[in-house]
Chains A and B, each alone.
Chain A
């Protein structure tokens, strides 16, 4: 009868949303049938020149994910002192099924992140630990703004990825849309970029009204929106382009390559409910957009549910940490399989960030409160993966930030700036990260 008190205000997937999607399937049949179809490419060989830059997928884990669970510092004995009931056991606890999967003798993955182990071993998956926003705020909203803007500046309302796009020419000349935010509201990360739009539901492209008059009405709107303020005018133009694009994609018929399966059910209860379904849908959409080869060069995905103040339960199927990590790892794995089988993975870099880590000590409710240092993850064929990159700040009590949080020894911008420079081929770093107090230090996280 009662809902889960559990855990966090970031949960978002709604049962009514599911009904919504189902009911829409029936209505979909009235969409115009004449729209041209784009084929999803399955072989990109020969299409890519050696100098081409990467398409970037930026993933934001909203709420402040618990990096100490997602990449376990089992080699730091203090970890087990701080977390009496939430710690992931050492890999050598061989009779404990919750034990970590060893990565490098010091760090390990929890069982729910197991699907990424193979990508780590293959050298495609990188974890950076003890990283994050160097400004000392524990507010979700300030931390998110500062990270997405790339500077701790309350008046800066454009994002690093938006400014990247604004400071470099189009990857594919004449593309309708260069960047897509797969969420209801455009993420600040993408703000300020040209030809950028959001798509919250890739299947719904209806303008409403009579089909016979749709072209005329859209033409009327196109003209009317020429004479209004610039923000509305641009938004309208992006909307027309986006709808055209989505109709040509026919996302519903998309078949992932390589047998990739998004939204895999959790092994211990067989369901997918709550386990990052929306992230799975977004990852699939990202793959479809990339494989349609329409010139989109940046995709941003928001993935909520990480503000685990209560019962974060990293091992149980109902735990927000378990569900979050399962959704993240399986869908990243599917995304990789899909894009790799289609032959396009050489040209894609994925970067995953969150606003802060969580307190090293668990709180009184089997959860963790807002902390500081955290993990950052990257995936790609040109990522120097297969390592946990860290100047480990340490978990001994005297080493903790303000007595309860992991320190930060690597500015998250270092990693992002290196990706922007080497993979997105943009040298205008002072535009992408306009902070005079900040000079990027590269850590050899990716290859040029």
Chain B
């Protein structure tokens, strides 16, 4: 440990440790989910459905698909899907840069740090602009407003996969981490993995900047294998962790040893840098016992070699595909779907789009997809989108909703990302209902919905039709229709209309997708 590093240790502003780090992993939902699936198709006419599937197994239906690849489809999305069909719609979403996203880009103009280098974040931002907080806020705006919805879903997926915690991140480097994930979210896994590692923040959070020759720290190498690439059952051993720990010594951050940081003139401050002097060159056996498996002695190229071998390893393919299927298809997965996805991953050298195209093909999705619970973040975003609410600021949403629901971007302390499991989230319904009832009353700070823009005709039947369309995606179960209609008179008061929207958003159907 250099004297400078020790010096810095004494002076860093100490934040905090401890608390409920809810590192729980949770049961898959098995019981009872089928009920919602059965309801989901009830009102879809054959003409609307483009799924060439047998009638006895119609899956989630077309809008079920849209609800899986988007936070919530708008009526325009539903019309577009019906017009151009499943594969064409999916391909549009898989090419986000071709989608015009003016409204979202306008909303993002308020943020100053998202495109800045770490050095500029450090030296050139006015007081009061927090780059890490802008990362959190901008994600919320993008999820609500972006038309590139599948891209946003994938960004959320990778932010969980490469999860870092805002209170143990470098706040000037966090925008780079986010930018990298956004840029490569739909590219090649090896490219994504390499660039995320070199965005420094993940190594920062997992202590690799202090993993140097003679001063080993296993934290990052172990989580890299377990979480970011091969998966805990991917076939690596304790020996591999130890080899990788040596390989990643000297992988660090430019300017890390400058002090004081806020006066640095090193414009590469905060970027990736390999420190040959801090690197243990010995190498060692990695993922096997043959001479070919040995990482030869060397410098940075050792790490590059590992990234390549690991990114395209069958264990990694399986780990990534399993998570993608869980995210987009069902909690339970399906052995042959996974096998096909893994084959696609390996055959395409880790092309993320190819894997998504494979698992989201119309007949496969129709066959395998099962209902899932929206995670709280997804739930709120979908409610805002379904009601076309306008968001003026994200802070109140974060404080009043996401903190209570325990899902805010960059706020999961352990490195495994927010759990993707029904039981992890289902017990905390009260804050969801709070959101559902406050929003239509326009009692949420900073998010407003225009009830009259949605329901120009104010008869009960007209309001019911709009609610069915926008919130139930034309699949409102008859019983729910009956229950909801009973809360309004034939010509309902404004309050009745607002509360009907609230009940619809709070209903069990809107919790699922």
Contact = CB atoms under 8 A, between A and B. Distances in A.
A364 B414 contact: no
B122 to A, nearest CB: 8
B21 A12 contact: yes
Interface string B360-373: 00000000000101
B310 to A, nearest CB: 17
A268 interface: no
Nearest to B416: A141
Interface in B91-123: none
A305 B426 contact: no
Contacts of B14: 4, 6, 274, 318
Nearest to B206: A9
Pick from B23, B31, B429 the residue with the most CB of A within 10 Å. Answer: B23
A62 B23 contact: yes
Contacts of A310: 207, 210, 217
A447 interface: no
B401 to A, nearest CB: 10
A20 B402 CA distance: 11
Given A14-B167, A208-B437, A217-B503, A227 B18 contact: no
Contacts of B433: 207-208, 221
A4 B24 contact: no
Interface stretch (B182-190, B383-391, B505-513): B505-513
B19 A5 contact: no
A23 B507 CA distance: 28
A201 interface: yes
Given A157-B27, A324-B18, A217 B437 contact: yes
B17 A320 contact: yes
Given A141-B232, A184-B406, A186-B24, A4 B12 contact: yes
Interface stretch (B33-41, B292-300, B317-325, B459-467): B33-41
A379 interface: no
Contacts of B415: 9
A277 B18 CA distance: 8
A185 B21 CA distance: 10
Given A140-B414, A231-B422, A184 B22 contact: yes
Interface stretch (A92-100, A105-113, A236-244, A418-426): A236-244
A308 to B, nearest CB: 9
Interface stretch (B68-76, B347-355, B479-487): B479-487
B17 A185 contact: no
Contacts of A39: none
Given A3-B167, A231-B29, A217 B502 contact: yes
B428 A198 contact: yes
Interface string B1-13: 1000000110011
A319 B211 CA distance: 19
A365 B217 contact: yes
Contact of A209 (B169, B406, B438): B438
Contacts of B170: 2-3, 5
Pick from A2, A13, A327 the residue with the most CB of B within 10 Å. Answer: A2
B152 interface: no
A250 interface: no
A382 interface: no
A320 B214 CA distance: 23
Interface string A36-58: 00000000000000000000000
Interface in B369-400: 371, 373, 398-399
Closest 7 pairs between A and B when the two form their complex, measured CB to CB: A364-B215, A304-B21, A184-B406, A209-B437, A157-B27, A274-B16, A229-B32
Interface of A: 1-17, 19-20, 23, 62-63, 137-142, 144-145, 148, 157-158, 181-188, 191-192, 196-198, 200-201, 204-210, 213, 216-217, 220-221, 223-225, 227-233, 235-236, 238-239, 242-243, 273-279, 282, 301-305, 307, 309-311, 318, 320, 323-324, 327, 363-367, 369-370, 402
Given A208-B443, A229-B512, A232-B373, 9 more contacts: A6-B12, A10-B23, A217-B437, A221-B433, A221-B506, A229-B36, A274-B14, A303-B20, A369-B219
